[in-house]
A = this chain, B = another copy of it.
Amino acid sequence: MIHPTAIIEPGAKIGSNVSIGAYSFVGANTVIGDGVTIQNGCEIGIHSVPGNDRPLVIGDGSMIRSMSIFYTGSSFGNRLVTGHRVTVREGVEAGQNLQLGTLTDLQGDCTIGDYVRMHSNVHIGKRSRIGNFVWIFPYVVLTNDPHPPSDVMKGVVLEDFAAVSTMAVILPGVVVKKGTLVGAHSLVSKSTNEDVLVAGNPAKEICPAAKIRLQDGTREPAYPWRRHFHRGYPVDVVNDWKAEFEV
């Protein structure tokens, strides 16, 4: 299951039932869980910082698609799934069931909760703090420097159940509160309320998110999205959500 052209450095800890594709590299300071698939042309566990002795840890059952690059010094829970060509720098602490879309770029030094889903080409600046069940759509950027270039870094916070739509930019230090939806192509320059829609350049609060109606014929509230969207979440989580919205 390890392709003969794959290069595995001595010292790499590789679990059982691991598959490593052609022309991939796995570095010495790497801990790969059981049942992990690493596709072709990846670089896993690049050791770039002299004296950095923290390993890269990839949880059980993960799938890393081809041409992805991970540095050492980060930890991912079980069932990480990536698209192609993701780039992950040092210092990411991520929970379980994280999804990273194709071309997504984690700059490092950030925390990510459980069941977070990033779509293609997302850019997460250093110092970002991302809660649980957060959604981030294509070409979103979380920034960190309030007056670039400078030595000041103020990370963005995305609280649980926040959803940030395509090509939104979140400015440094902004907190997107629990359950809030950021509209597509918005520039979010100040912290939001909970469970609202913010949109525009600069973004303004438009309405409670619950006023947005599902376009599926029911016209039920589209938010909080956990009322109706359950695909890919475990049964116990979904049951909790169902209980929350049943009266």
A159 within 8 Å of B (CB atoms) = no
Structural contact, B166 and A141, CB atoms closer than 8 A: yes
Structural contact, A87 and B87, CB atoms closer than 8 A: no
Complex: how many Å from CA A26 to CA B102?
20
A29 within 8 Å of B (CB atoms) = no
Interface residue total, chain A, C-beta cutoff 8 A: 59
Within 8 A of B (CB), among A146-174: 146-152, 154, 163, 165-167, 169, 171
A40 within 8 Å of B (CB atoms) = yes
Q: Tell which of B67, B141, B214 touches A138, judged by Cβ atoms closer than 8 Å.
A: B141
Complex: how many Å from CA A212 to CA B152?
14
A47 within 8 Å of B (CB atoms) = no
**B-contact bits for A111-130, CB 8 A (1 contact / 0 none):** 00000010011010000000
Structural contact, A138 and B150, CB atoms closer than 8 A: no
**B-contact bits for A18-42, CB 8 A (1 contact / 0 none):** 0000110100000000000000110
Q: Tell which of B83, B107, B200, B212 touches A201, judged by Cβ atoms closer than 8 Å.
A: B200
Structural contact, B214 and A185, CB atoms closer than 8 A: no
A94 to chain B, nearest CB (A): 19
Q: Which of A102, A165, A185 has most chain B Cβ within 10 Å?
A: A185
Structural contact, B143 and A184, CB atoms closer than 8 A: yes
Structural contact, B184 and A171, CB atoms closer than 8 A: yes
Q: Tell which of B107, B148, B229 touches A163, judged by Cβ atoms closer than 8 Å.
A: B148
Copies of this protein chain in the complex: 3
Q: Tell which of B152, B169, B215, B223 touches A185, judged by Cβ atoms closer than 8 Å.
A: B169
Collect the chain B residues with CB atoms within 8 Å of residue A200's CB.
201
| Nearest residue, chain B, Cβ from A184 | B169
- Beyond A85-B87, A147-B215, 15 additional contacts (C-beta under 8 Å) are A67-B69, A83-B87, A105-B120, A105-B121, A121-B123, A138-B141, A138-B143, A139-B139, A141-B167, A143-B184, A147-B222, A148-B181, A152-B215, A171-B184, A200-B201
Collect the chain B residues with CB atoms within 8 Å of residue A117's CB.
149
Complex: how many Å from CA A167 to CA B139?
9
A126 to chain B, nearest CB (A): 12
